[in-house]
Structure 1
Amino acid sequence: MGKNKLTLKTVIYLMLFIFIAYSMYLYLTPETPEKNQLEIHFISVGQGDAVLIKLPDTKNMLIDAGSNKYSNKVINYIRHQGINQLDYVIATHPHEDHIGGLDRVISTFRIGKIFMPDVIHPTRSFEDVLTIIKKKKLRITPAKKDLVIINNNKKDLKAVIISPEDKKYDKINNYSVVLKLTYHKTSFLFTGDIEKEIESKLVNSKYNLRSNLIKIPHHGSATSSSTPFLKEVSPGYAVISVGRDNDYNHPSPITLEKLKEMKVKIFRTDKQGTIIVMSDGSRLSFNLQPLEISYQKKNNNKNKAVKIISLDLKNEVVVIKNTGNETINLAGWKLVSLKGNQQFNFPDNTVLKPGQSFKILSGPSALNKPDNIIWTRSNIWNNSGDGALLTDSNGEIIDRLLREED
Structure 2
Amino acid sequence: MSEHSPYQPFSIGGSKGLTHKLTLGVCCMQTKATSNPMQSLLRRLDASGAFDIIIFDEKMILEQDVSEWPIVQCYVSFHSKGFPLYKSLEYVKMRHPVEINKVEDQLKLRNRLTVYETLKSHDIPCPDFMAIDHLDYGDHQFVEADDYIIYDGRKLKKPFVEKPLDGDDHNIWIYYPTNVGGGCKKLFRKIGDKSSEFDSKQSRIRKDKKYLYEPFLPTGGMDVKVYMVGEMYSHAEARKAPTVDGKVMRNKNGKEIRYPITLSEVEKACGALIVQAFGQFVTGFDVLRTTGRSIVCDVNGWSFVKGNQRYYDDCAILVQKFFLDRFHITFTMPIPALKNEERMSEPINRTTPEVDEADEENFQHDKLRAVMIIMRHGDRKPKEKHKFKSSH
Q: Same fold (TM over 0.5)?
A: no
Larger radius of gyration: 1
Relative CO higher for 1 or 2, CA cutoff 8 Å, sep ≥ 6?
Answer: 2
Q: TM-score, normalised by structure 2?
A: 0.27
Q: TM-score, normalised by structure 1?
A: 0.26
